[in-house]
Amino acid sequence: MEEGLFISICVPAYQRTDYLKRLLDSINIQTFRNFEVVITDDSTGPEVQDLAMRHPLKSKIRYFRNPSTLGTPENWNEGIRRSKGDWIKIMHDDDWFSGPDSLRLFTEAIKKGKALFWFSAYTNVFPDGHIKKIQINTLDLNALKKLPEILVAANRVGPPSATIFKKDPSIEFDNRMRWLVDIDFYIRYLKNHPPAEYIPLNLVRIGISSSQVTRSSFGNPEIEIPERLMLSEKLDRTSIRHIRVFDSWWRFLRNLSIRDMAQIEQSGYRGEIPGFIPPMIGRQQKIPRPLLRWGVTSKIFMILYFLKSRRYL
């Protein structure tokens, strides 16, 4: 392995060798070559190892079979722990680089700038073949630089495969989470290593499928409620004073139809509940459900409540 290894491409793998081959093929053609590929394998069979050992990229691959299945996101953490590079480039096995210069462009941005966390534009690729290019606008980027907690309103960074960051062993993905695990990591990393910087080029392609954990978790109160409140334990409590963060909590309660505190307890969450949650639930209880569910009137009620209550937040 090269001395002064720059990038570790960490691939948490599980069985899907067709997708994994596509990813490895896209890595093999990269013009920037100072990298290693760390595959941590949750599979029980030999398929992933066989592919890694016969692929043309095999001289750069370090393969590890996990003794027991780690799952998401602990398998991500395992890859990072096994890595030897200064920078971490997670690539999920169903994602791949857009072109041969993707890694070079990530590297050039890093060397020209001072940031320790970078993310790029990316392209979502759906099962039927249609694509959607995802970029962040200047307003959202500036908001992210000022307040990483703004990510609770919307994940404008994107999936981990769109990021690259300087290795920091003290910050891991929270293995209690499935749905908000990436947002939680980004916020904690950026609070320690601000700011995030952006590359406005579509450097990775993201394979979209209904089996993805984040998609299957959406709308499930037994996942969303505990994870959202676990995340709140780590947030700067003053972030609720930002209207977009406030609105995200309003929508969270509305979308899951949380009308009393008992529903939070029924979800399995046993930690601390932010002080603004009970009165926000109480406010929504007073609004007829049809009006609360309609986006326009809900937004009006939210703004009025925010203006009335922000001095106490």
Residue 2 placed within a domain: no
pLDDT of residue 212: 58
Judge if 159 and 46 occupy the same domain: yes
Is the residue at 291 inside a domain? yes
Q: Which of 184, 214, 244 is the last residue of a domain?
A: 214
Residues 172 and 267 in one domain: no
Within 8 A by CB and 6+ apart from 238, the residues are 313
Instruction: Report d(CA 92, CA 10) in Å as an integer.
Output: 8
Residue 215's pLDDT is 56
> Of the residues 214, 237, 262, which one is the last residue of a structural domain?
214
Domain count, the chain: 2
Residue 285: how many CB atoms within 10 A of its CB?
12
Q: Contacts from 252-260 at CB under 8 Å and sequence distance 24+?
A: 252/224, 252/228, 253/277, 253/280, 253/281, 253/284, 254/284, 254/292, 254/293, 254/298, 255/219, 256/219, 256/221, 256/224, 256/225, 258/221, 258/225, 259/284, 259/285, 260/285
For residues 52 and 170, membership in a common domain is answered with yes
pLDDT of residue 219: 74
CA–CA distances in Å: residue 80 to residues 44, 93, 168, 293 = 21, 15, 9, 42
Condensed to tens digits (0 to 9), the pLDDT of residues 17-76 reads 999 999 999 999 999 999 999 999 999 999 999 999 999 999 999 999 999 999 999 999
Which pLDDT belongs to residue 313? 85
Residues 255-302 have pLDDT tens digits of 999 999 999 999 999 999 999 999 999 999 999 999 999 999 999 999
Is residue 195 located within the same domain as residue 246?
no
Q: For residue 195, what pLDDT is reported?
A: 97
Using the 3D structure, point to which of 214, 237, 259 is the last residue of a domain: 214
Residue 122 placed within a domain: yes
Within-domain flag for 1: no
- Is residue 153 packed enough to be buried (19+ CB in 10 Å), middle (13-18) or exposed (0-12)? buried
Residue 227 in this model has a pLDDT that exceeds 60: yes
The span from the CA of 140 to the CA of 27, in Å, is 30
Q: Give residue-wise pLDDT tens across range 77-112.
A: 999 999 999 999 999 999 999 999 999 999 999 999
pLDDT computed for residue 1 by the predictor: 39
Task: State the Cα–Cα distance between residues 118 and 190, nearest whole angstrom.
Answer: 10
Confidence of residue 213 (pLDDT cuts 50, 70, 90): low
- What's the whole-number mean pLDDT along residues 213-219? 62
- What's the rounded mean pLDDT across residues 181-202? 98
In a domain, 26, yes or no: yes
Check which CATH number belongs to the domain holding 201 and give it: 3.90.550.10
Residue type, 286: K
In a domain, 288, yes or no: yes
**If pLDDT is split at 50, 70 and 90, which confidence band does 312 have?**
confident
- Domain holding 264, by residue range, is 219-312
Contact call for residues 36 and 8 (beta carbons, < 8 A): yes
Same domain, 245 and 188: no
Q: What DSSP string describes 150-197?
A: GGGT---S--GGGEEEE--TT----TT-SSSHHHHHHHHHHHHS--EE
Alpha-carbon torsion (226, 210, 64, 88), positive or negative: negative
CA–CA gap between residue 147 and residue 189 (Å, rounded): 12
Q: Among 18, 149, 164, 200, which residue's Cα sits nearest to residue 89?
A: 164
Q: What percent of the chain has pLDDT over 70?
A: 96
Pairing of strands 7-13, 35-41: parallel
